[in-house]
Structure 1
Amino acid sequence: MFKSIKLYFRLKSLAKKLRKQNKEVDFTGNLKYDKNVIIIDTKVPEYNKDSGSRRLTEIIKLLIKNNVGVFLMADFKEYRFTTDYLQYFKDLGAVVYEPGIDKSGKLIAKNDFIKQVLPFADFVWLHRPEIFAKYHPVVKKIKPTAKVFFDMVDFHYLRFKRESELTGNADILKKADKYLKLELDNCKKADKIIVISDVEKESIKEFYNEDAKIISIGNIHQFIENENPVSFENRKDLLFIGGFDHKPNVDAVNYLAEEIMPLLWKSNPGISISIIGSNPPETIEKLNSEKFRVIGYAEDVAPYFYNSRIFVAPLRYGAGIKGKIGQSLEFGLPLVTTNIGAEGFDFQENRTIMVGNTSQEIVDNILSLYQNKEVWQKISSDSKKVIEPFSNYTIEQKILSLIK
C-alpha cells in the first residue's frame, strides 16, 4: 500500500511537470509502415553495454529495414524515464515510449501507451520471462487476437541450474525450478517461442515439445574486414569483455583472478589481461593491478580486440549463445573458452585448442595459441566461417518468417 501511495504522488508530480513543459504526445501520429510490432523489454536496450541489448537492437534495425514499424517500451518506473538511449532508437525510426500527457492533460503511463498503440500492432514481442508474464495478460485483455511472441533471451532455468551445480547452493536450485515453471507457462501461452540457439531449442524440447512454435533467432554478428590488421608479433596480452550485471561474467573474472592467471603466470609471468565491462562491482574493481587491468566500461572496444593476442572467456555457467564469443569472432581474435562459452558455435577441428574445462586445460590452450603463430592465424582466418550462421542475412530471413 505504501509503495502504491508513493508511486501515485510521484506520477502526479510528473504529470504536473510535463504539463508545464507542454509535453503532449501522440504515439500513433506518424504511422507509415505496412506492419507494426510492439517490443517490450526491461529497459531501453543499451546496445553498447550487454549482449542481450545488442541483439535486440539489431533485431529492431532489421524489422525497420523490412518496413515493419516498431513501438518500443521499457518496463521502468514511469518517473525514471531519462536515458541516453531513447533518442538513438527514435533516430532509427522506432516510436519509443516515455511519459507524456494526452490532449486532456492526463499522464500517459505504460498501460495507456499499450492501449494507444496495440490497435495498430500486428505482433507483440515480449523480451524475457518476467516481461512476458506481466504483459501477456494486458495484451490479451485489450486485443485478444494479437499474436504474442515470447523471446526467452536465454533459458533461465538452465542458467540457474548450472549455477547451483557449480556452487552447491540449494536456494539457487529452487530459483531454477521457479524459472522453469514460469518459462514453461509462458511457452504454453505464446503464439511463438523465440530461443537464442538450436542448442537452447533442444533443451526446451525436453520439457515442452511443440517444435512448430519454436524458432531460434540468435545474436547477429558480421565479420569485420580489417585492411591493416595488427600482426601476431605486434599483439600481446589477453582480453575479457562482459557486462557485470550478468552474474556469470562476475564468476568468470573471479575465476580468472583466482585460478587461471596465477597458473598462467607460472609459465609466462609477462602476460597481462584487460577486463572490460559495464558496472563492475567493488569486488571486481579491487582486482585491478598492473597485470590484471580492470578497465570497466569502454565506449570503443575495437582497439582492445585489434591489439590483444587472445580473447579468454572461462564461463563456468550460463545458457544461450554468448555475445562475447561472437564479438571476438567478428574481430578475428582467436579465443579460449569452456563448453559453456562455446555452446551454439561450431569451431570444427579448432575446438580442441579453443575449448578447455579445467584451469589447466584453459591455461595450456592459452599458452599454445599465444606461442604458435601458424595455429593462431588459422583460427583467426576461420572465424569468418564460424559466425556465418549469425550473419545479418541469416537472422533476417528468420525474422521475416516469423512476421509473414
Structure 2
Amino acid sequence: CRHVTAVNEAEAALLRAAGLPGVAVLGTIRAPDPTPRPFAARAGLLFVASIHREDSPNLDSLRWYRDEILPALRRIMDEPPTLSFVGYTAPDLDLAEFRGIPGIELRGTVAELRPAYDEHRLFIAPTRFAAGTPYKVYETASFGLPCVATPLLCRQLGWTPGKDIATPATADAAAFAAEIASLYRDETRWTALRDSALRRLAAENGRGPFEATVRRILDAISA
C-alpha cells in the first residue's frame, strides 16, 4: 500500500507503529443542523443505534444501561428521565428483555430521526466496546443535542471532556449516571456543551476541511 487512511489519530498511530509509512487521518463529514427546541421544552434521554447481532456493542450498551446505569440514576434522581431507544434491530433478535422496564422505551426504526433529536434533552452513548469513531456522536452533535459518552468514545473522537462532550472521569456506571443527572438539570452547562460541539463539528467535520484533507492525501501520493 502506498497510503492508508484511518478515521482518527489513535488508529493512525497504530498503523504507523506497525511499519506503514504513508498514513493519514480522514474523518467524517457531518454539517451542523441544530434542532430548535429550547432546553425547558425537551425531556428524556435518547440512544440511537443499530443492533445487528447478539454480540453487538450497542446491545451491550443497552444492557449496561438497564443493569447498572439506570439503578445508579434512580439513586441520584427521584424521577429519572425515560431512555428512548431508536434504531434498527435484526429480525432474528428479540429485545423482549427490555420491554416493560420502567424508564426504557423501545421505539425501533423510525422514518425520520430529526424529531427524536428535537424532542429529547440528552443523548447517551454508553458504549464499552468500539473501534474507529462513533458516527452517532457526530450525528447527535450536528442536531444540537449534548452527549454523555464513555471515556472510550471521547478518546476516539479526540474531543475535550467537559467542553465538547460530557464524559465521566472513570468508566463505571455510577460516574456515568452522575454525569447524566448533572447535565440533565443544568441548562447553562447544557447550552455551553451544545454550542461547543457544534463549533467543533463545523471546524473539523465540514465539507471544506474534508475535501482539503483528501486533496493533501492525493497530492502526497502523486508527488
1:245 offset after TM fit, Å?
2.4
2:88 aligns to what? 278
Equivalent residue for 2:30, pick from 209, 216, 221: 221
> Secondary structure in 2 aligned to 1:397?
helix
1:312 to 124, 132, 135: 124
CA deviations 1:76-132 (Å, max 9, x no partner) are xxxxxxxxxxxxxxxxxxxxxxxxxxxxxxxxxxxxxxxxxxxxxxxxxxxxxxxxx
Q: Are 1:347 and 2:160 matched, yes or no?
A: yes
Instruction: Confirm or deny: 8 A CA contact 2:162 2:193 kept in the other structure.
Output: no
Alpha-carbon distance in 2 for matches of 1:307, 1:191: 47
In 2 relative to 1, CA 319–348 (structure 1 residues): closer, same or farther, beyond 3 Å?
A: same
Give the C-alpha shift of residue 345 in structure 1: 3.2
How many pairs are equivalent?
210
In structure 2, distance between residues paired with 1:215 and 1:223: 24
Question: Does the 8 Å contact 1:313/1:337 carry over to 2?
Answer: yes
Does structure 1 residue 303 correspond to structure 2 residue 118?
no
2:186 counterpart residue number: 372
Task: Provide the residue aligned with 2:47 in structure 1.
Answer: 240
Q: 1:199 to 1:250 in 2, by over 3 A?
A: same
For 1:363, the aligned partner's letter is A
Partner of 2:99: 288
C-alpha displacement of 1:225: 4.3
Segment drifting more, 369-378 vs 295-304? 295-304
Structure 1 position 204 matched with structure 2 position 19: no
Query: Which amino acid is 1:370 matched to?
Result: Y
- Tell me by how many angstroms 1:285 deviates: 4.2
Q: Distance in 1 between matches of 2:162 and 2:98?
A: 35
Alpha-carbon distance in structure 2 between the residues aligned to 1:199 and 1:283: 35
Structure 2 segments unaligned to the other structure (5+ residues)? none
Return the TM-score normalized by structure 2. 0.86
TM-score, length-normalised on structure 1?
0.49
Residue 282 of structure 1 aligns to a residue whose secondary structure is coil
Matches within 5 A, 1:53-68: none
Offset, 1:349: 4.8
CA offsets, 1:294-339, max 9 Å, x none? 2222221111111111110011111111001111110111111111
What are structure 1's unaligned runs of at least 5 residues?
A: 1-189
| Helix, strand or coil at the partner of 2:141 | helix
Instruction: Measure, in 1, the Cα distance between the counterparts of 2:150 and 2:31.
Output: 23
Letter in 2 for 1:234: A
Identify if the C-alpha distance between structure 1 residues 344 and 284 changes in structure 2 by more than 3 Å, giving closer, same or farther: same
The reply to whether residue 249 of structure 1 matches residue 58 of structure 2 is yes
Aligned CA RMSD, in angstroms, stands at 2.0
Larger RCO: 1 or 2 (CA < 8 Å, sep 6+) = 2
Q: In the aligned structure 1, how far is the partner of 2:30 from the partner of 2:205? A: 5
Report the CA distance shift for 1:337/1:193 in structure 2 as closer, same or farther (over 3 A). Answer: same
Match of 1:322 in 2: 134
Paired-residue identity, %: 20
CA distance in 2, matches of 1:369, 1:223: 21
For 1:43-95, what per-residue CA distance to the aligned partner results, in whole angstroms no more than 9, with x for missing partners? xxxxxxxxxxxxxxxxxxxxxxxxxxxxxxxxxxxxxxxxxxxxxxxxxxxxx
Matches within 5 A, 1:135-150: none
In the alignment, is the contact (CA less than 8 A) between 1:240 and 1:311 conserved in 2?
A: yes
Change (3 A) 1:217 1:403: same
Q: Which residue type is aligned with residue 141 of structure 2?
A: L
